[in-house]
Structure 1
Amino acid sequence: MSDPNTHPNLPSVDRSNGLRSRLPSPTSLALLFFLGIPGSLIPSLKRLEWFYLFGLFTLWHMVTGIVPSPSDDAEATNWISMGTPSGLRPLVSMVSLQLNPLIQWQGVKQIAGHGLTFLRYRLRLPDLDRFDQQVDYRLPVEGEWTVVNGGPTRDTSHSWGILAQRYAYDLVVTDDDGRSYEGSGDRPAEYHCFGEPIVAPADGVVVAASDGHRDYHRAGGWLDPRQRDLRGNFLTIEHATGEYSVLAHLRNGSLEVSKGDRVERGERVARCGNSGNSSEPHLHFQLQDRPSFFRSMGLPIHFSNLRLREPDGEETVHERAYIAAGQRVASTE
């Protein structure tokens, strides 16, 4: 079921990324940062402190997010008009976040978790061929949404170098002109997806629920400098052994379930918000192998019973399919 080429109801995925697909992400080099610690503790190993410089590679995903590489498939999403007018606002916001100790600590936990994940899988990380999805998942939204970030391959990945988010998705609602907002786009309420229902993608048990994080009052590329969790308000749901979904950036006060609650497929669990590390209202969704956001590995996910609308307007209905940035998607359930 994990291989789209062997499942009759799962369209094939273009994985012709060549040598690039086999090279490690520069973000992984940040793991060498920890070799500097012995240099700080043992005088004779002081030269090892130079390894602290590798910590700068944690900024790699920020740089690529602002300055896309020539290999990025811009054509798939160039019809979408987001609320961020340029890369300047996210850049200024990211610089200010370097002074936020809570976010910096989460960054350290994330990189440390990479090391544990590599060891756990002996460098053979789950991918389209090595992951056997146990559960059928529906889209975690109602109505038609637009995929603005994410896909099942390295070239379409949300954040290839951040292992837990490797196969994550960012979803928004766009109008007929491809705009995710109306008006100036400076306030969360001007975004079409803000406050829209979020649903459980499959039956399961809530293993983590966090509410009470403010929705940042600015949008259009600005990040909350006082955020205390990258996820903002979020839910983590266990669906099967080794399969946990994460729904993040939820609206403050909108969670309808708590830790320990059992949820049913399609049940409304929260509403879309602008909390945490969010430049504009959207839903961040990912499937991971462990409950911990920082020590888990992201898993490629195909969805069941959905309609896809491509940028050229072609519309298809699938029993199962992967989705990718640039597509409009809707559940047929």
Structure 2
Amino acid sequence: MLMTVWKRHGLIFGAGAVCVLVNGSGIGPLWITGVALLALGGLLHWLLVRRQRPLAAREPVAVGVPVTGRWTALNGPATKVPSHTHSHAQTYAIDLTYAPGDGEDQGPPFATVWPFGRRPERFPTFGRPVLAPADGVVVAVEGRMRDHWSRTSLPGYGFLYPEGFVRGLGRPRHLWGNHVLLDVGDGVVAGFAHLRRGSVTVAVGDRVRAGQPIGACGNSGNSSEPHLHFQLMDGPDPVTARGVPFRWAYLDETSGTEHTGVPEDTTLFSGRV
């Protein structure tokens, strides 16, 4: 019961914000209640994120690259840890965008002011297949959330941050969008987020093999443009699990050298499961 309340800290914070916003009589019972709920929600969030910090260093888990072709690594653990945040077990998460070759559509550029955003279909990453990086069992699926327009402009980025904060007050699916969680054994669960609506090809309980398609890249959830968010964690609940480091066998497309590990940010790489 206590953990359930703890995990719903966003609702407590949101209720506090509503109390403060609708209060029209100055400092009074409603205002005091709102401030108290805001403080409680914020404290519970801080404590939960603190609890999600990895307890000790552990060896990276070897898995396959969950995409094929040439990709760009962004916001990854080879550049900084936590790569995202400890919240939602994102300590060692990485973002991937498809890198088109010569003669392929490069996608729309970043806009300074206008347009605010573009349809996700305009981006070359959208619809690219996502593959299981190891044998495993599907433990969670969400596939009905819409793919929103990109936030690839200065006003769009300005909107993305408060939008992400509000999404963070809800359930994991509000941040992750369409996603698949795959138990790959030894207490490790792989997470794939921001998938395309209607693209998920697996259901809870399915056993999948390494290299099997499980969905496609999209722009659902807290996403600035179509990409794949990938991470490992030590449990099936992103709200309480801790991040787990991973390593890939991949080819650095710029230097032509093979590596085992995680590519640094902006590295062009390719790999196969």
Q: TM-score normalized by structure 2?
A: 0.70
Of residues 174, 181, 187, the one that matches 1:236 is: 181
* Aligned twin of 2:251: 307
* Aligned twin of 2:133: 201
What is the number of residues matched between the two proteins? 223
Matched, 1:245 2:190: yes
Matched-pair contact (CA < 8 Å) for 2:62–2:246: no
Matched, 1:191 2:123: yes
* Aligned twin of 1:113: 48
Matched-pair contact (CA < 8 Å) for 2:100–2:106: yes
* Aligned twin of 1:140: 66
Of residues 258, 264, 267, the one that matches 1:317 is: 258
Q: What whole-Å deviation, never above 9, does each CA across 1:54-101 have from its counterpart, x for those lacking one?
A: 939xxxxxxxxxxxxxxxxxxxxxxxxxxxxxxxxxxxxxxxxxxxxx
Matched-pair contact (CA < 8 Å) for 2:201–2:215: yes
* Aligned twin of 1:121: none
> Which residues of 2 match residues 1-333 of structure 1 at below 5 A?
52=39, 55=42, 111-117=46-52, 125-126=55-56, 130-133=57-60, 136-152=62-78, 155=80, 157-162=82-87, 164-175=89-100, 181-182=107-108, 186-220=118-152, 222=156, 223=160, 229-304=174-249, 306-309=250-253, 313-318=254-259, 320-332=260-272
* In structure 2, C-alpha distance between the alignment counterparts of 1:51 and 1:274, rounded to whole Å: 30
Gapped runs of 5+ residues in structure 1?
Answer: 1-29, 35-45, 57-107, 119-123
Matched-pair contact (CA < 8 Å) for 1:149–1:157: no
Gapped runs of 5+ residues in structure 2?
Answer: 1-8, 14-32, 112-116, 168-172
Matched-pair contact (CA < 8 Å) for 2:190–2:231: yes
Q: State the one-letter code of the partner of 2:268.
A: R
What SS does the aligned partner of 2:176 have?
A: coil
Matched-pair contact (CA < 8 Å) for 1:215–1:275: yes
What SS does the aligned partner of 2:204 have?
A: coil
Matched-pair contact (CA < 8 Å) for 1:136–1:202: no
Which has the larger share of strand?
2
- Call closer, same or farther: CA 1:214–1:332 in 2, change over 3 Å: closer
Matched-pair contact (CA < 8 Å) for 2:50–2:86: no
* In structure 2, C-alpha distance between the alignment counterparts of 1:282 and 1:163, rounded to whole Å: 18
Matched-pair contact (CA < 8 Å) for 2:176–2:194: yes
- Call closer, same or farther: CA 1:211–1:163 in 2, change over 3 Å: closer
- Call closer, same or farther: CA 1:132–1:218 in 2, change over 3 Å: closer
* Aligned twin of 2:4: none
- Of structures 1 and 2, the one scoring higher in RCO (CA 8 A, sep 6+) is 2
Q: State the one-letter code of the partner of 1:168.
A: A
Matched-pair contact (CA < 8 Å) for 1:158–1:165: yes
Q: State the one-letter code of the partner of 2:126.
A: F
What SS does the aligned partner of 1:285 have?
A: strand
Q: What whole-Å deviation, never above 9, does each CA across 1:160-214 have from its counterpart, x for those lacking one?
A: 453611110010012359x962377722111110000000010000000111000
Matched-pair contact (CA < 8 Å) for 1:203–1:262: yes
